[in-house]
Amino acid sequence: MARGYGGVSAEQRRSERRTALLEAAMDVLPDGLTVRGVCGHAKLNDRYFYEHFRDCAELLKALAEREGAGAVAVVMDVAATPVPDMRAQVRRMVEAAIGFVCDDPRRGRVWLAVQVTESLYPMRYQMIRRLADIMAAHAYERLGERAPAEPDTTMAAFTLVSGGFDLFCSWLRGDLDVSRARLTDFLVAMILATADLTDALTGSD
């Protein structure tokens, strides 16, 4: 067993160094990730960088996975505590997702990196699928027999989440000149509009 130092185990110190490197990456991301830049910001020797990551691409992937898991977790927390009004519930979920990113401006830079970095596409896809699964399950729970049948609900949820992600990234870049409140209203309205999907698809194969 690795000995502790100052009452802190070797494994805990290792975990703290990894967290420090991830936090440093959040801070220096706008200037580009380099081993020297991240280690300098974290005040760690570069040997500790290579203790956890092969290179900066792997560091960025770990950072994106951490932030993606955080976003999924906050949405799941809201979905697990339903309120009677469906519109209010959808709004709470959308606000939770947007708030998770906007409450720490550094997270926006991570989402933009996730959108444009080819090596992160699989991670992005998995995050979108997870959020779409949550949305689809929520639709079945709240709409009951009024919910669109499979695979329509799954396709609708995936379309809303993937399209919403790209729209949100456009807003983060400043390409959309709308307020956060207006963006929230729009996304809520789009999600609620899927409740009428069954009637719109009547008669199709």
Residues 97-135 pLDDT 10s? 999 999 999 999 999 999 999 999 999 999 999 999 988
Q: What does the buried/exposed string (b/e) look like for 133-150 if buried means 16 or more CB atoms within 10 Å of the residue's CB? A: ebbbebbeebbeeebbee
Could you tell me the domains of the chain? 1-53 (1.10.10), 55-200 (1.10.357.10)
Q: Work out the average pLDDT over 135-156.
A: 77
**pLDDT average, residue stretch 149-164:** 88
Contact yes or no for 32/94 (Cβ under 8 A): no
The better pLDDT of the pair 32, 1 is held by 32
Q: Which two tokens stand for residue 68?
A: 């993606």
pTM of the model: 0.85
Lowest mean pLDDT among 37-41, 51-55, 60-64, 88-92: 88-92
Output phi, psi for 8, to 5 deg: -115, 125
pLDDT digits (tens, 9 = 90+) for 173-199: 999 999 999 999 999 999 888 767 655
- Position 199 scores a pLDDT of 58
Query: What span, in angstroms and rounded, lies between the C-alpha atoms of 29 and 122?
Result: 20
